A and B are shown apart, each in its own frame.
Chain A
Amino acid sequence: TQLLEQSPQFLSIQEGENLTVYCNSSSVFSSLQWYRQEPGEGPVLLVTVVTGGEVKKLKRLTFQFGDARKDSSLHITAAQPGDTGLYLCAGVGGFKTIFGAGTRLFVKA
């Protein structure tokens, strides 16, 4: 069974701090996606990384796919209260998408 482990499960930080969320697996994926979910809503795709070692930036968010395509990280610079939410990583392989349990981020003003 493919598993994606996310860490930390919960993170509470002050506005302006930096943070990194990790997503790890023993399986190789064709691509790795990051979603953000707000309370009462469905997840919304932030980014898809496809190539081993790939780095993508989305404003203050930096996403990296591991060289072996088994792991990924999400780094947020100068977090803002609007970044609060549940961040989910998802590994795509074959006709399956495997989701991690998520990292719940709370940014205090």
Chain B
Amino acid sequence: DAGITQSPRYKITETGRQVTLMCHQTWSHSYMFWYRQDLGHGLRLIYYSAAADITDKGEVPDGYVVSRSKTENFPLTLESATRSQTSVYFCASSESFRGRETQYFGPGTRLLVL
């Protein structure tokens, strides 16, 4: 299906485990983003990527790792999950980033760290 998809949709893990959240888009958009959404904080940018093999930190990057070997995929890895990383994670993509473009969001991954 066309669009932006995330997997898994729900994940329960334990403190200290490594977790990878997947994001795939079919539009060949250059830019991709990872956000986390928590009550009272809105969406906060974790990492973004301007193109394959180009990534940069956002507002809250600590504890997360990203890669982008292919334009369409942008996985987010929690190297050693902590309870504070319990959140809803959204991936987004946009054609470019000059200030007016639409960011298209995936359906989100709900992560619970026990």
Contacts and interface: CB of A to CB of B under 8 A. Distances in A.
B99 A92 contact: yes
Contacts of B105: 42-44
Interface stretch (A11-19, A73-81, A97-105): A97-105
B90 A42 contact: yes
Contact of A42 (B48, B100, B106): B106
Q: Interface extent on A, as a size class?
A: 20 to 34
A42 B92 contact: yes
Contacts of A41: 107-108
Contacts of B99: 30-31, 50, 92-93
B42 A97 contact: no
Contacts of A100: 42
Interface of B: 35, 40-45, 48, 58, 90, 92, 97, 99-100, 102-103, 105-108
